[in-house]
């Protein structure tokens, strides 16, 4: 087989084997060809909304007619101009053919419960992403089984599928498009994690941890999920509690000590010889005491050694950079500003919704607490920029997402840990920034007002006000303690 003649692309100037096309401007490599044949918009020369594969003298994209390109990009199926994907048909038409065939019930029909899901996938902004996703053999196996009835369209099917990651993603997609009953994703992930984690312990430890998880953590998580208030942070705290409880049981088993015989000395020794995360087992030990598995023991609270606080100059410099550094995506800059100006935890920022934005003729506000907080003009402009280009909406996972920061998972916001990483990588100390912002805010307004506006408890706001040296913190209580003057 003869090697292709090397050629240099007139657009990217890269020399490689000749696998592209020859247009009036010269040789265009395969990569630049794909970019050109996926770009749509109004042509600056003729004004028609078309595919814009060509370039004019100023390197502005123009339609094929104005560029003199003879190749016809019209899809033989739908009549739209796009890069040909297969036998003259565009990627969207090929996706609809392939996905309809995959969801065939063996009688030439797509089951009714899967039809909305089919439509959502086929109408997503990037059909080629769905075509690549369909190559996954586990995706094909599960969807084909659901369509033919070999697999029940129920949550139990996804609970026990061996391809956990693929099954989890598919379950969320099907819930997102009403093919499955809604269940809280955080609760689903927690129960799957619990089942896998408990399998690694001895039978006695597993039984005790199962009771602890069921009667303490799962009961609370299910209640919150039913109320629609369950957050990933609650699940993470429960995982940490169960994990450290398991470490305590493993420690006792290694020394041949029955859990019911654990003494205060054993507990103190375990706490003293390990990391501070062991204090997360406090809930387990107290629960075990109340349930009669242990005698009454003293488990101390872990006190924070220090409270990091950024200087005011450092915080304001980070605010200025977040507002002006256009090299960073607007989503991460906006999240950083909400942390630096409004002392919002990243876990709360990640779960803000579009309906938390309050727009009036004179101002834009964001509902952070009970009352909307009015945004200064630069922050409002950054919010507008972000809204015009919200990420992760090009597939069926998050089309028309209600979240201010849409995530990668179907129907979910951007995960707070990912958002934390992006802000931290931009040079922001998360806890120091939040403490600094909150202390400044309780200096600018009474703590009760700050708590109401920012979504904090009054106790937290007052504690920060005391640390910041606010003079009005004790004003009301001081007045109430003064002896009343007698009026003669």
pTM here is: 0.70
> Residue 369: is it exposed, middle or buried by C-beta count within 10 angstroms (0-12/13-18/19+)?
middle
**Residues 274 and 349 occupy one common structural domain:** no
Token look-up 């996972």 returns 397
Rounded to an integer, what distance in angstroms lies between the CA atom of residue 139 and that of residue 448?
52
- Residue 334 lies inside a defined structural domain of this protein: yes
Same domain, 359 and 427: yes
Q: Is 245 helix (H, G, I), strand (E, B) or coil?
A: helix
pLDDT classification of 486: cutoffs 50, 70, 90:
very low
442's enclosing H/E stretch is helix 430-444
The answer to whether residues 416 and 320 belong to one domain is: yes
pLDDT, tens digit, for every residue of 362-395? 889 999 888 888 899 999 999 999 999 898 888 8
Q: Which of 28, 47, 73 delimits the end of a domain?
A: 73
| Whether pLDDT at 487 is above 60 | no
Residue 302, domain member (yes or no): no
My answer on whether 138 and 207 are in the same domain is: no
Residues 320, 419 share a domain: yes
> Would the pLDDT of 354 be above 60?
yes
Residue 259 reports pLDDT greater than 90? yes
Residue 297 counted as domain residue:
no
Supply the mean pLDDT for the chain. 89
**299 lies in some domain:** no
Task: Say yes or no: 396 and 420 in one domain.
Answer: yes
In angstroms, rounded to a whole number, what is the distance separating the alpha carbons of residues 112 and 435? 53
Domain interval for residue 122: 91-176
Is residue 146 in a domain? yes
Tell me whether residue 307 is in a domain.
no
Residues 280 and 328 in one domain: no
Do 49 and 118 belong to one domain? Answer: no
Q: What is the CATH number of the domain that holds 400?
A: 1.10.443.10
Do 148 and 231 have their domain in common?
no
From the list 394, 395, 396, the residue with the least C-alpha distance to 120 is 396
Shared domain check, 197 and 105: no
152 inside domain: yes
Q: Give the up-direction half-sphere exposure of residue 216: CA atoms within 13 A in the CB hemisphere.
A: 22
Is residue 128 pLDDT above 90, yes or no?
A: yes
Q: Provide the domain count of the chain.
A: 4
């Amino acid at each position: 087989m003869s090697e292709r003649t090397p050629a240099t692309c007139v657009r990217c100037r890269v020399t490689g084997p000749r696998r592209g096309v020859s247009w009036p401007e010269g040789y265009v490599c395969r990569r630049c060809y794909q970019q050109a044949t996926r770009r749509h918009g109004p042509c600056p020369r003729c004004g028609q909304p078309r595919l814009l594969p060509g370039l004019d003298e100023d390197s502005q994209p123009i339609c094929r007619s104005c560029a003199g390109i003879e190749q016809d990009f019209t899809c033989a199926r739908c009549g739209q101009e796009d890069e040909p994907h297969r036998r003259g048909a565009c990627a969207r038409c090929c996706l609809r053919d392939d996905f309809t065939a995959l969801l065939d019930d063996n009688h030439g029909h797509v089951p009714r419960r899967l039809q909305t899901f089919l439509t959502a996938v086929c109408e997503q902004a990037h059909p080629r992403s769905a075509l690549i996703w369909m190559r996954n053999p586990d995706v094909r196996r599960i969807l084909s089984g659901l369509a033919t009835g070999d697999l029940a369209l129920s949550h139990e099917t996804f609970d026990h599928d061996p391809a956990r990651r693929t099954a989890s993603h598919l379950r969320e997609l099907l819930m997102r498009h009403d093919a499955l009953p809604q269940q809280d994703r955080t609760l689903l992930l927690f129960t799957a994690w619990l089942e896998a984690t408990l399998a690694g312990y001895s039978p006695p430890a597993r039984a005790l941890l199962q009771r602890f998880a069921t009667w303490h953590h799962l009961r609370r998580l299910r209640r919150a999920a039913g109320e629609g208030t369950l957050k990933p942070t609650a699940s993470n705290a429960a995982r940490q509690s169960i994990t450290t409880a398991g470490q305590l049981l493993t420690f006792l088993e290694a020394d041949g000590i029955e859990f019911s015989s654990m003494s205060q000395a054993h507990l103190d020794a375990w706490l003293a010889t390990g990391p501070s995360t062991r204090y997360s087992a406090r809930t387990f030990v107290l629960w075990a005491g109340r349930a009669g598995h242990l005698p009454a023991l003293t488990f101390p609270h872990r006190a924070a050694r220090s409270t990091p606080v950024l200087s005011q100059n450092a915080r304001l410099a980070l605010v200025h950079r977040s507002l002006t550094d256009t090299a960073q995506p607007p989503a991460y800059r906006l999240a950083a500003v909400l942390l630096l100006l409004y002392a919002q935890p990243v876990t709360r920022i990640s779960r803000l919704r579009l309906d938390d934005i309050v727009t009036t003729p004179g101002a834009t506000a964001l509902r952070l607490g009970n009352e909307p907080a009015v945004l200064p003009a630069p922050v409002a402009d950054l919010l507008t920029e972000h809204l015009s280009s919200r990420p992760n909406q090009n597939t069926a996972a998050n089309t028309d997402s209600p979240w201010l920061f849409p995530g990668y998972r179907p129907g979910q916001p951007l995960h707070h840990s990912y958002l934390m990483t992006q802000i931290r990588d931009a040079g922001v100390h998360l806890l120091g920034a939040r403490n600094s912002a909150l202390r400044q805010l309780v200096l600018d307004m009474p703590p009760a007002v700050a708590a109401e506006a920012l979504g904090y408890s009054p106790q937290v706001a007052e504690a920060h006000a005391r640390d910041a040296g606010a003079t009005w913190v004790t004003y009301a209580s001081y007045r109430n303690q003064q002896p009343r003057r007698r009026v003669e």
